[in-house]
Structure 1
Amino acid sequence: MSGPVLLVLYGSQTGTAQDTAHRVARQAQRRRLKVRVMPLDRYDPAQLISEVLVVFVCSTTGQGDPPDNMKTFWRFLFRKSVPAGALNRLDCAVLGLGDSSYPKFNFVAKKLHKRLEQLGGTMLVPVGLADDQHDLGPDAVIDPWLSLFWEKVLVLNPSLADVVPLREDEPLPPSFTFHFLDAETKRTTDPARVPSDRTAPSESCPFPARMLSNRRVTHPSHFQDVRLIEFDISGSGIEFAAGDIVMIRPHNAAADVRLFCQLLRLDPESSFTLKPTGNAAVPAGLPEPCTVHHLVERYLDIAAVPRRSFFELLSTFATDERERDKLMEFSSAAGQEELHGYCNRPRRTALEVLTDFPQTTSELGVDHLLDLFPEIQPRSFSIASSLKTHPDRLQILVAVVRYQTKLYKPRRGLCSSWLASLDPQQGLVLISWILGLK
């Protein structure tokens, strides 16, 4: 590869900005550029002074707040001690993802763009303000913004004009390769073990909380199943006030895990280790070694409604002409209305898409799973109890999400359905942690 090294940094609360950041990275790879992509809080902001080309992709949460995985970077960047010309060697661009129905639409992206300018950064393009409320969705802004960005990069690096990019239908190298272990080299790993030196619960160090009760509080005849669920948080060090937020990462349904493994001809009991092919770090949420069952049940978001990038990547594995044409249509700018009708409106899941494209699914290699499927994101619940009244206990009220679309099978909320299905008597362990305390 030739040309500058592109760094793509993202701040993402629900995974959308992360997905977009990886989309930028894939476009860079197709242009044969070296690229790194990572969340903002895993990047040392003091190193920005030595970077040459950076794209920032960020969403806005709450009342104009940065995402949780961006807050440390945000505080550093806005220190008064950072000199005005600190970033005068940096070429950069900011792409914001937001919703114009909120008063502080893309507030974080706008403020970040302005701050980078103040610190001497050269902004290659105007700040991109993607809007969920647009008739064509955020891609109505993202597509032309990316085109303009690459035009500016080409102007700065004329040698790139001689580079022959990879074809759109050519698969990119996977971010990781799977190395399966034989029976003799397997090690047992308990992903829910409690460290002996307990730190405050966080996304990188969650606390395994035992479920004590799972009781329906609405009458059986009522249309809405609402559960009062209580957890034992003894020894966690968790402190909270009523109304604070607990984050819970759900598991995929057992039936979905079985179907996924059948479609891809995977042995759920087989163990593997991951080896990065580039600069990406092995996901912190996966034990090492890891079983296929653990990966599919607790990490791959196979029950989510897939984004456009899912179809873009899936199409590169298609050998059946009919399936390839349809997947390419769904991944094109012109096909977004068709994709909305197929996927978004009926809430069709990624797993259901795989069953609709059986020939392509049969060609899908295991090494590309972590590129194709995002990580299951934690869900937030307001805490419905007080430590003064219930010491060492944490309670939440959960309304089980269930609704019907044009699809025959009812749609179910992944986390609420999973929580409602858990039986405290079976000794099941829930991984939970506190984020965004008030």
Structure 2
Amino acid sequence: MNGHTDPLPLDSRAFLVLHASVTGTAIDTAERIGRRGRREGWNVTVKSVAQFNQAELLEHGLVVFVVPTTGNGAAPPQFLPLWTALLHPALPPDFLEDLRYAVFGLGDSSYGKYNWVGKKLSRRLDSLGAHAVVERGEGDDQNEWGVESTFPDWLDRFFTAIDPLFAPPPGFTKLPLTATPPPRARLDKVASPSSSTATPPTADSAPLLWTDDARWARLVRNDRVTREDWYQDVREVELEVEGVEPSERNRLYTAGDVLEIRPQNSPAEVERFLTSAGWTDLADDVVLVSPTDPAQPLPPHLPTPFRTSLRSLLTHELDISCVPRLSFFEWLAAFSEGDMEEKLRWFCEPAGQDDLIDYTLRPRRTINEVMYEFRAAKVPPEYVFDLLPPIRPRGFSISSSPASHDGKVDLLVAVVQYKTILSVPRQGLTTTYLSNLLVGSRLPIRFDPSGQLKLPAGTPPLIMVGPGTGVAPFRALMEERVRAGARENLLFFGCRSETADCYFRSYWDDLVERGWLTLSVAPSRDQDDKVYVQHKIPEHAARVWDYVQRGGHLYLCGSSTQMPKAVRKAVLTVFRDQGGLDDEGAERAWDTMEREGRLVEETWG
């Protein structure tokens, strides 16, 4: 498709699927490509880019990339090493001339840079001589059916395109959709613990750290900072990392970093799942877990074989609290019969997507709740890694700088709880886990340096917009800005009530009094007309324009719903009114700031 010479023929009916996941959608999408390929006689390896060496790219004839775009054009952190390698200026234009590829991007069209990573990757692969076998696919969170709006059709086109590239073995028959693939894992029961083996694991045994750079921390503080009668429970959480030398404390992390926490499921939720699945009698048997096929590796942090129990796996490794994806219903259908199987298979059909959304997404029904409703399904325990997604770490903006807190880590955590049509309130796994931890508890954490809101070099003016818990990283930045002597700081902080949820108020007031900060608070519910951060920006229009003109930075942090667009509109109005720019000139000024790294958004859904 790109005008280069034809690539060498494939030397086998095989391909590689690489995924870089943020929310788990990319993993699920990649696994579905793999399952379809195996049904059609392809030898498919599915792995994370984190398990992939860039040099391997030259060893494969056909590679499928499943890549999400986060926020406004950002790539997932684990994708960056591969992307950096592909961008190396010394690579010749025929470097990948023997590679055939396909890209399926995941994104959200409410952002200006929709599916940016997939688009950039496709263009770069083309420029290095690679050959696209099918037009790039794009999944859009804004579509009514999400990824299901486009993925099934793209998948059909992909397999139609690659089928002629290498014939299946003689006599091969494609497996029907109703055929159950073999499990990813073997669970070999350990007969009985001997003196030479470790103590059998239990539900409270320590989890394994999920990456090489994860570490252990202890909970020092877990205080509610919203008013006691307020509807939302927001905590200021303080953690102390274990085994840190005094000389290392101030270098543990930097202002603007994110802290990842990998939660665990509660004993009650685990017991409920075990009962629904019919695994209660097996729950505490010691088993050795190993992959059945090297092309389908288990999560890379698990040793092979992994000595554990079903209870321990369900507590520490596998997510039973998230909303299930379509593939969960495919697996459940494989182990069901009669009307129940028919209903589950309907959920997996294009025509059944509205019903699936009504059943899962709208009420936010969890895997555990679905398992209870379909508890007549008989899922063999060895399919546990196929049925359930891994527990993924959740990231929180750090609200402290290490020098100001002796290396301790502060977080501002809103405990997620809300109602749907279901009688039991919905709860966020990680925030509920954190809120229930007692002071002194150990928990696994990891510093993620890929946060967008880094301290600007030098002491340029800084404009910060942070509604709700979006204000957290600005406390960390201000601690460092004061240390650096940077006095020109303007903060637009949105809360609901100045008496109920005005986070870090005493700190902001102290900075204002000492001349380090100009503060504009937008308490949306303290008056009849709702006031948000975007409504406060015009009140400081002259200062905003002055700061921007003198090389200032504009940082935005918070919910990705309507807020970023409303703030952008307010700032563009300032550019027009204060700078005398027309619409096009204001847009150009915004784009220039973004290109120069002076305009940064860190938002979440």
Superposition TM-score tier, normalisation by shorter sequence: over 0.9
Distance 1:113 1:218 in 2: 47
Report if the CA contact (8 A) 2:234-2:415 is conserved: yes
Give the 5 Å matches for 1:345-424: 345-360=362-377, 363-424=378-439
The secondary structure found in structure 1 opposite 2:153 is: helix
1:286, distance to aligned residue in structure 2 (A):
3.9
Report if the CA contact (8 A) 2:38-2:44 is conserved: yes
Residue identity in the other structure for 2:385? L
Report if the CA contact (8 A) 1:8-1:38 is conserved: yes
Cα deviation, 1:284-337, whole Å, max 9, x if unaligned, reads 444631232221011111000001111112111112x11100100111111111
- The sequence identity of aligned pairs, in percent, is 36
Report if the CA contact (8 A) 1:286-1:299 is conserved: no
1:234, distance to aligned residue in structure 2 (A):
4.7
Distance 2:300 2:160 in 1: 36
Q: Does 1:203 align with 2:211?
A: yes
1:182 aligned to which of 191, 194, 198:
191
Distance 1:50 1:243 in 2: 38
Distance 1:63 1:160 in 2: 45
Q: Which residue of 1 aligns with 2:220?
A: 212
1:107, distance to aligned residue in structure 2 (A):
0.6
1:344, distance to aligned residue in structure 2 (A):
0.4
Structure 2 gaps of 5+ residues are: 1-10, 455-605
Q: Which residue of 1 aligns with 2:51?
A: 42
Q: Which residue of 2 aligns with 1:323?
A: 340
- When normalised by structure 1's length, the TM-score is 0.92
Q: Which residue of 1 aligns with 2:14?
A: 5
Report if the CA contact (8 A) 2:41-2:168 is conserved: no
1:414, distance to aligned residue in structure 2 (A):
0.8
1:161, distance to aligned residue in structure 2 (A):
9.6
The secondary structure found in structure 1 opposite 2:384 is: helix
The secondary structure found in structure 2 opposite 1:355 is: helix
1:76 aligned to which of 72, 85, 89:
85
Q: Which residue of 2 aligns with 1:430?
A: 443
The secondary structure found in structure 2 opposite 1:297 is: helix
The secondary structure found in structure 1 opposite 2:402 is: coil
RMSD across aligned C-alpha pairs, in angstroms? Answer: 2.0
Between stretches 24-33 and 271-280, larger displacement belongs to 271-280
Residue identity in the other structure for 1:268? A
In the alignment of these two chains, the number of paired residues is: 425
Residue identity in the other structure for 1:164? T
Q: Does 1:283 align with 2:299?
A: yes
Q: Which residue of 2 aligns with 1:245?
A: 258
Q: Does 1:274 align with 2:289?
A: yes
Give the 5 Å matches for 1:18-33: 18-33=27-42
Report if the CA contact (8 A) 1:215-1:227 is conserved: yes
1:110, distance to aligned residue in structure 2 (A):
0.6
Cα deviation, 1:339-385, whole Å, max 9, x if unaligned, reads 0000000000011111111211xx10111110111111111111122
Q: Does 1:334 align with 2:351?
A: yes
The secondary structure found in structure 2 opposite 1:183 is: coil
Report if the CA contact (8 A) 1:305-1:347 is conserved: yes
Report if the CA contact (8 A) 1:3-1:160 is conserved: no
Q: Which residue of 2 aligns with 1:135?
A: 144
Report if the CA contact (8 A) 1:210-1:428 is conserved: yes
The secondary structure found in structure 1 opposite 2:443 is: strand
1:103, distance to aligned residue in structure 2 (A):
1.1
Larger Rg: 2
- When normalised by structure 2's length, the TM-score is 0.67
Distance 1:406 1:180 in 2: 42
Residue identity in the other structure for 1:422? L
Report if the CA contact (8 A) 1:41-1:73 is conserved: no
Between stretches 76-85 and 340-349, larger displacement belongs to 76-85
Q: Does 1:256 align with 2:293?
A: no
Distance 1:285 1:46 in 2: 22
Q: Which residue of 2 aligns with 1:314?
A: 332
1:135, distance to aligned residue in structure 2 (A):
2.2
Report if the CA contact (8 A) 1:176-1:370 is conserved: yes
Report if the CA contact (8 A) 1:60-1:106 is conserved: yes
Structure 1 gaps of 5+ residues are: 195-201
The secondary structure found in structure 1 opposite 2:220 is: strand
